[in-house]
Amino acid sequence: MCPSKGTVWIFILLFVKNVFEQEGFGRQKRGYRNINDIEVNMSDPLFTKQWYLINTGQADGTPGLDLNVAEAWQLGYTGKGVTIAIMDDGIDYLHPDLASNYNADASYDFSSNDPFPFPRYTDDWFNSHGTRCAGEVSAAANNNICGVGVAYNSKVAGIRMLDQPFMTDIIEASSISHMPQVIDIYSASWGPTDDGKTVDGPRELTLQAMADGVNKGRGGKGSIYVWASGDGGSYDDCNCDGYASSMWTISINSAINDGRTALYDESCSSTLASTFSNGRKRNPEAGVATTDLYGNCTLRHSGTSAAAPEAAGVFALALEANPNLTWRDMQHLSVLTSKRNQLHDEVHQWRRNGVGLEFNHLFGYGVLDAGGMVKMAKEWKTVPERFHCVAGSIQETHKIQSGNKLVLAINTEACQGKDNFVRYLEHVQAVVTVNASRRGDLNINMTSPMGTKSILLSRRPRDDDSKVGFDKWPFMTTHTWGEDPRGTWVLEVGFQGEEPQRGVLKEWTLMLHGTQSAPYIDQIVRDYQSKLAMSKKEELEEELDEAVERSLKSLLSKNN
Ligand SMILES: *[C@@H]1O[C@H](CO)[C@@H](O)[C@H](O)[C@H]1NC(C)=O
Ligand SMILES: *[C@@H]1O[C@H](CO)[C@@H](O)[C@H](O)[C@H]1NC(C)=O
Ligand SMILES: *[C@@H]1O[C@H](CO)[C@@H](O)[C@H](O)[C@H]1NC(C)=O
Ligand SMILES: *[C@@H]1O[C@H](CO)[C@@H](O)[C@H](O)[C@H]1NC(C)=O
Ligand SMILES: *[C@@H]1O[C@H](CO)[C@@H](O)[C@H](O)[C@H]1NC(C)=O
Ligand SMILES: [Ca+2]
Ligand SMILES: [Ca+2]
Ligand SMILES: [Ca+2]
């Protein structure tokens, strides 16, 4: 009997994700290097305070809980040839730690329409955000000034766009589509108000700009949009933020230096991965050390704002390792190489999805691992073509009441037999129209045919909207990545909270996005594929074990 490609692939996925954790291999675990073996010596005074780069336990942190940049740097990747734009309140491009890496040609000021995105002065240094973010990505190394950027030889561009009386669709769209053949990565640490009651997202022009970016940017490989998941804390849900929850953005949450969630972290099913931000303790050195306005340095950058640029830096390292990576490759690499490490979320368990990928509702697939990412990026083959399937749609009205949740099912073949069959999932969207006497008390879960439950909407106690509800809102989940979408999807809609509520669901449309052919096989078992196809099940697993181990060895450990 010939095993299906699916079986092979599922097994490989399990293997890839577990290769660092399983016991019994005759080789060293990755990602658990001895801190004393890290031979990175920088003259920058803040370097040893940048625990998010190399965590040796500074500021009461957990040793080893970091971005593993040392490994990527040792392999020679420092961001050369990659440009990252910080879309923010400007950049102090005269800063001695930024000036040498500043890309003036790719910079612009959309807040005051000129080519100089210098921050506007205020007495309280309010407009320091962009400068701090820029330093995390591109601060120069070994120059005795401040610290070191994640991609310290990358170029940074300033796109000033947050500092005007109010935001417009045109400013957002212009920023997001600024020089897409020069800028590789756009980092955004902003979005709708984090008040726990806003439901908002990109408007028409910005949506179009994002779609154009991923389709046409970087010579068609797609602009990489990195987004902070938001600072609304447990009272907000980042799936109500249409920027963070977009499929075209990689949304990044944060962990603090001991692996816990930050108090301002929002959770949602669209977050892909995490990086680091400031601690809960008063210890000033538990913050994010970086450049600050007017040539200064700071130890106190914070928020998921601080997390997104770290991810942009890691992606710059990956792009240097392989400039061919598409916007989707970057998401696949994040899913495969991010680590649970020592992250802990007191509210949501870590779970495995139907193909064995470990995820968490707040941290996504875990913390980015720069070393793991560049090694995999180097050997990466672009994932197969992406397809889109409307798996089903329920458009009758259904009542919802407290104490009596609504359960709906869509049974789907995922467009099998048609050109747009989706067999291996990437993103899944549930487009929902629902109203409620109190929107904030609504909660919505969706379970995939392989049994993975995504929390699409959690209770938001401050949201007392009773009129608008959600109008064709695309709730997104990344949790079912790699799964086979064929079968029955279940949507559960209910109320949580003290007062009895009622509402009406008017639409649930299930949209599947992903590939028809299996990704990764080329990368991992290309030499063994034909042989494997002829093997029997048990032999298959044994052989695959060896094959994968050999391939992975060359793929992942070549440089050790
Ligand atoms: C780092 O480099 C400096 C100057 O080159 C040297 O004095 C110092 O001993 C080095 N430190 C380590 C840990 O290698
Ligand atoms: C910032 O730098 C300026 C000189 O570049 C210095 O005068 C000032 O004291 C610094 N401010 C802080 C808060 O460190
Ligand atoms: C990128 O693509 C080009 C053209 O397809 C190929 O020649 C090159 O080897 C690729 N580079 C990497 C690092 O995969
Ligand atoms: C929800 O929509 C239904 C049908 O359009 C309407 O009858 C009901 O009054 C609405 N409920 C709320 C809370 O807005
Ligand atoms: C959704 O899942 C959460 C977490 O497991 C649970 O607390 C909640 O009751 C569920 N809601 C519905 C409507 O099933
Ligand atoms: Ca420096
Ligand atoms: Ca938010
Ligand atoms: Ca996103």
pLDDT digits (tens, 9 = 90+) for 266-297: 999 999 999 999 877 778 889 999 999 999 99
Question: Would residue 183 count as lying in a domain?
Answer: yes
DSSP 8-state symbol, 280? S
Q: Read off the pLDDT of residues 152-184 as tens digits, 9 standing for 90 and up.
A: 999 999 999 999 989 999 999 999 999 999 999
Instruction: Give residue 36 CA to ligand 1 midpoint distance, Å.
Output: 14
Tracing tokens 């400007």 back to the chain, one arrives at 90
**Whether residue 392 sits in one domain with residue 358:** no
**Quick one: average pLDDT of 506-512?**
98
Cβ atoms of 20 and 29 closer than 8 Å: yes
Residue 534 has pLDDT above 70, yes or no: no
Tracing tokens 């590789």 back to the chain, one arrives at 184
Instruction: Give residue 90 CA to ligand 5 midpoint distance, Å.
Output: 42
Cβ atoms of 464 and 407 closer than 8 Å: no
Q: Residue 491 corresponds to which tokens in the numbers above?
A: 């949507």
Q: Which of 432, 435, 464 to mutate to test the pocket of ligand 4 (most atoms within 8 A of CB)?
A: 435
Closest ligand to the CA of 330:
8
Residue positions counted in the chain: 560
Residue 23 has pLDDT above 70, yes or no: no
Instruction: Give residue 455 CA to ligand 5 midpoint distance, Å.
Output: 7
Domain of residue 511, CATH code: 2.60.120.260
- Determine the pLDDT at residue 553: 52
Instruction: Burial-class residue 558 by CB neighbours within 10 Å (0-12, 13-18, 19+).
Output: exposed
Chain mean pLDDT for the chain: 89
Residue 2 has pLDDT above 90, yes or no: no
CA distance 51 to 65: 8
Q: List residues near ligand 3 (CB under 6 A).
A: 322, 324
Instruction: Give residue 523 CA to ligand 7 midpoint distance, Å.
Output: 37
- Determine the pLDDT at residue 22: 31
Nearest-CA neighbor of 399 among 386, 408, 388?
408
Question: Is residue 305 annotated as part of the catalytic site, yes or no?
Answer: yes
- Which of 379, 407, 442 is at the close of a domain? 379
Q: Residue 209 corresponds to which tokens in the numbers above?
A: 């700009």
**Whether residue 414 sits in one domain with residue 278:** no
Question: Would residue 213 count as lying in a domain?
Answer: yes
Helix ranges (H only) for 97-224 are 129-138, 169-176, 204-216
- Identified catalytic residue from 89, 95, 129, 265: 129
Residue 547 has pLDDT above 60, yes or no: no
Tell me, using a 6 A CB cutoff, whether residue 492 lines ligand 5.
yes
Q: Which of 345, 398, 455, 479 to mutate to test the pocket of ligand 5 (most atoms within 8 A of CB)?
A: 455
**Whether residue 347 sits in one domain with residue 432:** no
Q: Which of 407, 432, 443 to mutate to test the pocket of ligand 5 (most atoms within 8 A of CB)?
A: 443
- Determine the pLDDT at residue 303: 87
- Which of 379, 409, 433 is at the close of a domain? 379
**Whether residue 360 sits in one domain with residue 399:** no
CA distance 543 to 270: 36
- Determine the pLDDT at residue 35: 53
Q: Write out the E strands in 246-296.
A: 249-255, 273-276, 288-291
Nearest-CA neighbor of 88 among 330, 309, 316?
309
Question: Would residue 552 count as lying in a domain?
Answer: no
SS3 per-residue string spanning 308-340? HHHHHHHHHHHHHHCCCCCHHHHHHHHHHHCEC
**Whether residue 239 sits in one domain with residue 121:** yes
Instruction: Give residue 395 CA to ligand 4 midpoint distance, Å.
Output: 15
- Determine the pLDDT at residue 520: 73
Positive or negative CA dihedral for 422, 425, 427, 431?
Answer: positive
Q: Read off the pLDDT of residues 349-362 as tens digits, 9 standing for 90 and up.
A: 999 999 889 999 99
Question: Rounded to 5 degrees, what are φ and ψ at 384?
Answer: -60, 170
- Which of 379, 403, 421 is at the close of a domain? 379
Question: Would residue 19 count as lying in a domain?
Answer: no
**Whether residue 200 sits in one domain with residue 123:** yes
**Whether residue 260 sits in one domain with residue 409:** no
Q: Read off the pLDDT of residues 26-42 as tens digits, 9 standing for 90 and up.
A: 333 334 455 556 678 89
Cβ atoms of 374 and 329 closer than 8 Å: no
- Identified catalytic residue from 305, 338, 437, 458: 305
Q: What angle do CA 517, 537, 424 make, to 5 degrees?
A: 20
Instruction: Give residue 246 CA to ligand 8 midpoint distance, Å.
Output: 4
**Whether residue 365 sits in one domain with residue 441:** no
CA distance 260 to 344: 5
**Whether residue 367 sits in one domain with residue 429:** no
- Determine the pLDDT at residue 544: 55
Nearest-CA neighbor of 194 among 235, 165, 248?
235
Tell me, using a 6 A CB cutoff, whether residue 535 lines ligand 2.
no
Query: Using CA positions, which residue lies closest to atom 5 of ligand 5?
Result: 455
- Determine the pLDDT at residue 40: 86
Tracing tokens 């050390």 back to the chain, one arrives at 289
Nearest-CA neighbor of 192 among 473, 466, 443, 453?
473
**Whether residue 464 sits in one domain with residue 340:** no
Tell me, using a 6 A CB cutoff, whether residue 96 lines ligand 2.
no
Tell me, using a 6 A CB cutoff, whether residue 295 lines ligand 2.
yes
Closest ligand to the CA of 297:
2
- Determine the pLDDT at residue 549: 55
Residue 522 has pLDDT above 70, yes or no: no
Residue 559 — very low, low, confident or very high, per pLDDT cuts 50/70/90? very low
Q: Could you tell me whether strands 185-188 and 83-88 are parallel, antiparallel, or unpaired per DSSP bridges?
A: parallel
pTM of the model: 0.89
Residues 6+ apart with CB under 8 A from 108: 114, 115, 117, 158, 159, 160, 178
Q: Which domain, by its residues, includes 470?
A: 387-519
Q: To the nearest 10°, report the CA torsion of 165, 171, 172, 173.
A: 160
Q: Could you tell me whether strands 249-255 and 155-160 are parallel, antiparallel, or unpaired per DSSP bridges?
A: unpaired
Cβ atoms of 210 and 175 closer than 8 Å: no
**Whether residue 433 sits in one domain with residue 350:** no
Residues 6+ apart with CB under 8 A from 138: 79, 84, 98, 101, 149, 151, 152, 154, 155, 156, 313
Cβ atoms of 243 and 201 closer than 8 Å: yes
**Quick one: average pLDDT of 428-434?**
98
Question: Would residue 531 count as lying in a domain?
Answer: no
**Whether residue 47 sits in one domain with residue 117:** yes
Structural domain count of the chain:
2
